[in-house]
Amino acid sequence: MNAPKPVYFIARTLVASLFITSGFFKLMEPAQNFLAVVQSYEILEGRSAVIFAQSLPWIEFIFGVFLLLGLWRRAAILALWACNSFFIVALFSAFFRHLPIHDCGCFGQSLFSFSPAQMLVNDIFLWLVFLWLW
């Protein structure tokens, strides 16, 4: 199904802006803040948690810019979809293991704060938007 170009452009711009904002807010904070969030999910440990916490904000920001500008559009969609898929798995995991996570960490410690349950619903919707953008 081909969407009208203005609708596709608006959806692509909104998704790109979401990831640019998410990456930007995390990059503007001390790296330890996001590392603590990553460790609270109890999925990654040690060096892998550090590498993930240092890399994810850059991946979100850079691929968000690519998507916004229409550069390597498919690669950007795939990279951000993979991030989104990981977020869904992490949120489900935290929910089923009853981890005491009160803020998903999606936007760092900015003005935006969402519970894991709220973000799970948002991420599932976003996952479907990625399929449509593909």
Neighbours of 43 (CB within 10 A): 17
**Joined tokens for residue 4:** 């009208």
**Joined tokens for residue 96:** 């089923």
Inter-residue contact 133 to 8 (CB < 8 Å) = yes
Inter-residue contact 11 to 133 (CB < 8 Å) = yes
0.85 cut: is pTM over it? yes
pLDDT in tens, 104-123: 777 777 666 777 778 888 89
Q: What is the mean pLDDT of residues 17-29?
A: 94
- Of 33, 29, 35, 36, nearest to 53 by C-alpha is 35
Instruction: Please check the confidence at residue 17 and state whether its pLDDT lies above 60.
Output: yes
Cα 78 to Cα 21: distance, rounded to the nearest angstrom: 18
pLDDT at 115: 74
Cα 67 to Cα 20: distance, rounded to the nearest angstrom: 10
pLDDT at 117: 79
**Joined tokens for residue 74:** 């498919």
Cα 71 to Cα 88: distance, rounded to the nearest angstrom: 26
